[in-house]
Structure 1
Amino acid sequence: MKSYKKIKTKTRNRLMQTSVGHAAYQTANHFRVGLSKKLPDHIVAHIRYRERTGEPLNLKDPRGFNEKLWWLKLNNRDPLMTLCSDKSAVREYVAREGYQHILSEQYGVYESPNAVDFAKLPKKELFFKTTHGSGGNLIVDNSAPVARRKFRKFFKSALKANYFWQSREWNYKDIPPRLVCEEVLRDSSGSLPNDFKFMCFDGEPRLLYYSEGLARRDGRHETQNRYTNIYDMDFDLQSFKRSDFAVNPDYVLPPKPILEEMQAIAARLSRPFVFCRVDLYEVDQRIYFGEITFFPAGASGTVEPEEWELRMGDWINLSSSKIKLKDRSD
Structure 2
Amino acid sequence: MTTTKSVQIDQEAGAAGLKDKDDFSEDSASNDVTPSQPDLHRSAQQSASIVRRIKEAAKSMLPDSIFLSLLHHRLIGRYPNLICPATFNEKILQRSLNPDPRYIDLTDKLTVREYIAAKLGEKHLIPLVAAPDAFTREVFDTLPNSFVMKANHGSSFVEVVRNKSETSFEELQRLAAQWLSTDFYSIARERHYRKIKPRIFFEHLLLDQSGQIPADYKLHCFNGRPGRPVIYILVISDRFGSATHGDVYDVDWNHLDVAIGYYKRSATPAPRPQNLESVLDAAVTLCEDFDYVRVDLYAPDNEVYFGELTFTPGAGVLPFTPDRIDYEWGKLLA
TM-score band w.r.t. shorter chain: 0.7 to 0.9
Aligned to 1:232: 250
Cα distance change of structure 1 residues 88 and 116 upon mapping to structure 2, 3 Å threshold: farther
Query: Which has the bigger relative contact order, CA under 8 A and spacing at least 6?
Result: 2
Counterpart amino acid of residue 270 in structure 1: C
- Residue identity in the other structure for 1:234: D
* Bigger shift: residues 197-206 or 184-193: 197-206
Whole-angstrom distance in 1 between the partners of 2:235 and 2:56? 30
Alpha-carbon distance between aligned partners in 2 of 1:167 and 1:93, rounded to the nearest angstrom: 26
Aligned amino acid, residue 119 of structure 1: D
Aligned twin of 2:36 = none
Distance 1:175 1:85 in 2: 8
Structure 2 residue aligned with 1:138: 159
In structure 2, the partner of 1:310 is 327
Report the counterpart of residue 183 of structure 1 in structure 2.
Answer: 204
CA–CA separation in structure 2 for the residues paired with 1:164 and 1:306: 27
Is 1:60 equivalent to 2:77 in the alignment?
Answer: no
Q: Report the more deviating stretch, 297-306 or 158-167.
A: 297-306
Question: Map of 1:84-95 to 2, 5 A cutoff?
Answer: 84-95=106-117
**Cα RMSD after superposing both structures:** 2.6
Q: TM-score scaled by structure 2?
A: 0.79
Aligned to 2:213: 192
Distance 1:37 1:225 in 2: 36
- Aligned-residue offset at 1:164: 0.8
Of structures 1 and 2, the larger Rg is shown by: 2
Amino acid aligned to 1:92: E
Give 5+ residue unaligned stretches, structure 2: 1-14, 24-30, 32-48
Q: Equivalents in 2 of 1:99, 1:12: separation in Å? A: 36
One-letter amino acid of the structure 1 residue matched with residue 311 of structure 2 = F
Match of 1:327 in 2: none
Distance 1:141 1:242, change over 3 A: closer
Q: Secondary structure of the equivalent of 1:230?
A: strand
Percentage of pairs with the same residue = 26
In structure 1, runs of 5+ residues without a counterpart are: 1-9, 18-23, 217-223, 318-330
Name the amino acid aligned to 1:214: R
- CA distance in 1 between counterparts of 2:220 and 2:86 reads 17
Where 2:234 maps in the other structure, the secondary structure is strand
TM-score by length of structure 1 reads: 0.79
Structure 2 Cα separation of the partners of residues 207 and 263 of structure 1: 10
Evaluate the alpha carbon distance shift between residue 95 and residue 115 of structure 1 in structure 2; reply closer, same or farther with a 3 A threshold.
farther
SS at match of 2:136: helix
The CA distance in 1 between the partners of 2:94 and 2:195, in whole Å, is 20
Once the 2 structures are TM-superposed, how far is the Cα of residue 272 of structure 1 from its aligned partner? 1.8
Cα offset for 1:135?
Answer: 2.3
CA pair 12-95 structure 1, distance change in 2 beyond 3 A = closer
Could you say if the C-alpha distance between residues 145 and 316 of structure 1 is closer, same or farther in structure 2, counting changes exceeding 3 Å? closer
Match of 1:211 in 2: 236
Instruction: Specify the code of the residue in structure 2 equivalent to 1:237.
Output: H
